[in-house]
């Protein structure tokens, strides 16, 4: 880390198979001070997720292959303290592996507020 990198920068892993939604969310969060890694599937997310790097995971639920809820269960097994936020139009019935569910459509500012609140406590 160099001297110009703030110590409080938080890194989010964004998982969404919708390219437009993923890009819009990444641009919004990046402009709000977050560093964002983004991937298009739950399988990709599990391949790159590292609790030493990622402070939180933001995911859609309905995706090709593994759902966001299934991925969240695996994330929580690897790192129980990593917050997982789901931003979806179709939330799962079992939300036990999720810290927050933000149901679409909502302003992206609500996702940022949820991230801010969860990461302030971490």
- Average pLDDT estimate for 15-27: 96
Classify domain 11-120 at the CATH superfamily level: Response regulator (3.40.50.2300)
Calculate the average pLDDT of the chain: 92
> Is the confidence at residue 5, as pLDDT, over 80?
no
> Is the confidence at residue 39, as pLDDT, over 60?
yes
Residues 6+ apart with CB under 8 A from 47: none
The pLDDT score that the predictor gives to residue 9 is: 77
Report DSSP state, residue 36. Answer: E
Q: What CA–CA distance (Å, rounded) separates 119 from 55?
A: 7
**Whose CA is closest to 59, among 107, 25, 20?**
25
Please state the φ and ψ torsions of residue 80, each to the nearest 5 degrees: -60, -25
Q: What is the pTM of this model?
A: 0.91
- Average pLDDT estimate for 101-110: 92
Lowest mean pLDDT among 10-14, 42-46, 103-107: 103-107
Maximal C-alpha separation, the chain: 45
- Average pLDDT estimate for 79-90: 95
Boundaries of every domain in the chain: 11-120
The pLDDT score that the predictor gives to residue 44 is: 98
The pLDDT score that the predictor gives to residue 104 is: 87
Cβ–Cβ under 8 Å, residues 42 and 59: yes
- Average pLDDT estimate for 59-82: 96
Q: What CA–CA distance (Å, rounded) separates 88 from 22?
A: 12
Report DSSP state, residue 39. Answer: E
């Amino acid at each position: 880390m160099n001297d110009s990198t703030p110590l409080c920068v938080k890194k989010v892993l964004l998982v969404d198979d919708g390219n437009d939604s993923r890009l819009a969310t990444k641009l919004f969060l990046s402009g709000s001070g977050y560093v964002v890694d983004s991937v298009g599937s739950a399988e990709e997310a599990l391949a790159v997720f590292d609790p030493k790097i990622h402070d939180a995971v933001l995911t859609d639920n309905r995706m090709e292959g593994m759902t966001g809820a299934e991925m969240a269960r695996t994330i929580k097994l690897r790192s129980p303290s990593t917050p997982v936020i789901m931003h979806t139009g179709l939330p799962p019935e079992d939300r036990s592996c999720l810290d927050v569910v933000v149901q679409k459509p909502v302003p992206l500012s609500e996702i940022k507020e949820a991230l801010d609140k969860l990461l302030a406590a971490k």
